[in-house]
Amino acid sequence: MNETRSSFRDPDGFVYAEEGVVYRQINQSYKINYDHLIESGLYDELVENDLLISHSEVKKKELNENAYKIIQPEQISFISYPYEWCFSQLKDAAITTLKLQEKALEYQMSLKDASAYNIQFIKNKPKLIDTLSFELTKKGQPWVAYKQFCQHFLAPLALMKYKDARLNQLTKAYLDGIPLDLASSLLPAKTSLKYPLLLHIHLHSKSQKKYINKPQKTNKNMSMNSLLGLIDSLKSSIKKMRTDSKSSHWQQYYEKEINYDKKSMEEKKRIVKYYLKKAEPTNIWDMGANIGVFSRIACENNVPTISFDIDHSCVEANYLRTKEKNEKNIMPLLLDLTNPSPGIGWNNQERMSLIERGPADTIMALALIHHLAITNNIPLNLLASFFNQLCNKLIIEYIPKQDSNAKRLWQSREDIFQHYTKANFEHEFRKYFIIKEKQEIKGTQRIMYLMVKK
Amino acid sequence: MKKKHPIGITIILLLASNTKAYIDPGTGSMIFQMLIASLVGLIFMLKLYWKNLKNRIKKQLNKNPNKKKNE
């Protein structure tokens, strides 16, 4: 039995894994809340509306004397974190959380936490995965998770929208969301003219400062109408937030920068399709996926595909497309491969590193290797061992130094890349992989490989 | 959306237990909600009334052309 290292804060239960299956123990302390969640019909309504993960109660030996029930939730193949989401993913997760709170209030329940880590994208839909997040409302009590919601959702969304989309990386530094005083000081002054941001960030942060360590006054109550008003105010302000339509250099890559003529591009797609057929992947990570052109080929046969890219606007465009086309098997995520998501939180174990969440069955690394080897000076031997850790099968494109795109990366620098040759590339990758297929993309100097781990 | 509570109803299930939250709700955040309670509540009510009024007008406008056709 492995207790999950991220579910220790809530005393009402915990998540654990047994033989690869994830279970959740519900403690006696949560009995009254769990029974109400199920018997009131709230659980059914939330599951039906794709807001909450489904589960079944299972008869298993309780792990300790506190146990009330053991449930087996719908299994999630890949856990992603808010610092890996683009603006619209965080926005959708925020709206899901507010919809959950609205529904819960209808059934005399309320969310006792509003952590962004409690939301996961399952078949590209954000759902609450923490079944223990609901508690019976207490008369007149304000929303206990209001502060957490503002820190986990509203503050990063406002910073991404009104300052810079890259500021979502602050959520990596602040595990319990971006402190509101920090968000307030970073946001442009004009945001004080926007009523919801003035209220929920600027004035809220001032209130936090004023009442810090002061005993709470309890003579005032919060009516249901005010609670619904609070949620409505947050929801309508978040719904109005949209990303700018400005596209980045990388987003235009396939329109302007691409180093293939139409024929070569078709040839590359043909080779990728052929390699995928040979690899028979059970899941795919497409590294450096840009807006997901090849991820879409990868997931044609309903293979779950994660479409990683370093550029926020690419991930945003990719995600919006998955929504528009109702694509359920592609999950776009933000990732800097030279600094992949680390293990963070308590004991460095609360949120898993990228490597811990692997290996993937198949990795696609197309038009990527020259950026890592040349722009970032990562030696080929380290690249080969990195991919060896992360996958069983590898579809990789080698781009020689003479390629015009690769040339641009080293031409204005000292040429320290003598080792970057096709022979060295094959030599280093052969240490870990068997080269099953190798084809040159006609009309280019680029070579596509299909490799299988030794 | 199914409406389980009409507008303005403020009945909340009263629990005997008065347990505290397991996360820190923040004193300032709890007090702040109480301070803005009337404001957000009022705006919410006005929005609902406005929505209802718009729906009624829409319904009325949709009814009239049918009446004329039947006549």
pLDDT digits (tens, 9 = 90+) for A134-168: 999 988 899 999 999 999 999 999 999 999 999 99
pLDDT digits (tens, 9 = 90+) for A75-109: 999 999 999 999 999 999 999 999 999 999 999 99
- The Cα–Cα gap between A225 and A247 comes to 41
Q: How many angstroms away from the CA of B62 is the closest CA of chain A?
A: 28
Residues A223 and A164 in one domain: yes
End-to-end CA distance of chain B: 36
Is residue B18 predicted with pLDDT exceeding 70? no
**B45 interfaces chain A, CB cutoff of 8 Å:** yes
pTM for the whole structure: 0.90
Q: How many angstroms away from the CA of A313 is the closest CA of chain B?
A: 33
Is residue A401 predicted with pLDDT exceeding 50? yes
pLDDT digits (tens, 9 = 90+) for A171-182: 999 999 999 999
Domain that holds residue A11: 2-73
CA nearest to A209 within chain B: B28
pLDDT digits (tens, 9 = 90+) for A408-436: 877 777 777 788 999 999 999 999 999 99
Residues A118 and A266 in one domain: no
The reply to whether residue A142 touches residue B25, judged by beta carbons under 8 angstroms, is yes
CB A54 within 8 A of CB A131: no
Structural domain total, chain A: 3
Nearest to B27 among A10, A140, A212 (CB): A212
The burial class, CB within 10 Å (0-12 / 13-18 / 19+), for B52 is exposed
In a domain, A98, yes or no: yes
Question: Where a domain ends, among A73, A90, A112?
Answer: A73
Nearest to B31 among A113, A144, A207 (CB): A207
- Domain of residue A311, CATH code: 3.40.50.150
Contacts of B42 in chain A (CB under 8 A): 229
Contacts of B38 in chain A (CB under 8 A): 226
Q: How many angstroms away from the CA of A54 is the closest CA of chain B?
A: 21
In a domain, A193, yes or no: yes
Question: Which DSSP symbol is given to A215?
Answer: P
**B8 interfaces chain A, CB cutoff of 8 Å:** yes
- Give me the count of residues in chain B: 71
For residues A402-413, give the mean pLDDT: 79
In a domain, A330, yes or no: yes
Is residue B12 predicted with pLDDT exceeding 60? no
Residues A278 and A417 in one domain: yes
A&B contacts, CB < 8 Å: 136
Residues A211 and A158 in one domain: yes
Would you state the pLDDT for residue A1? 63
Residues A175 and A54 in one domain: no
Residues A273 and A410 in one domain: yes
In a domain, A363, yes or no: yes
In a domain, A206, yes or no: yes
In a domain, A219, yes or no: yes
**Share of residues in chain A with pLDDT > 90 (%):** 79
Residues A95 and A37 in one domain: no
- The Cα–Cα gap between A75 and A397 comes to 33
Residues A233 and A100 in one domain: yes
Would you state the pLDDT for residue A269? 94
Residues A413 and A395 in one domain: yes
Residues A96 and A232 in one domain: yes
pLDDT digits (tens, 9 = 90+) for A319-355: 999 999 999 999 999 999 999 999 999 999 999 999 9
Residues A20 and A90 in one domain: no
Residues A261 and A208 in one domain: no
In a domain, A248, yes or no: no
Per-residue pLDDT band for B61 (boundaries 50, 70, 90) equals confident
Nearest to B25 among A147, A209, A213 (CB): A147
**B60 interfaces chain A, CB cutoff of 8 Å:** no
In a domain, A177, yes or no: yes
Question: Where a domain ends, among A185, A210, A240?
Answer: A240
Is residue A267 predicted with pLDDT exceeding 60? yes
Contacts of A291 (CB under 8 A, 6+ apart): A251, A253, A254, A309, A314, A317, A318, A321
Mean pLDDT value across chain A = 92
Total Cβ atoms within 10 A of residue A208: 21
Question: Where a domain ends, among A180, A213, A240?
Answer: A240
Nearest to B12 among A11, A137, A203 (CB): A137
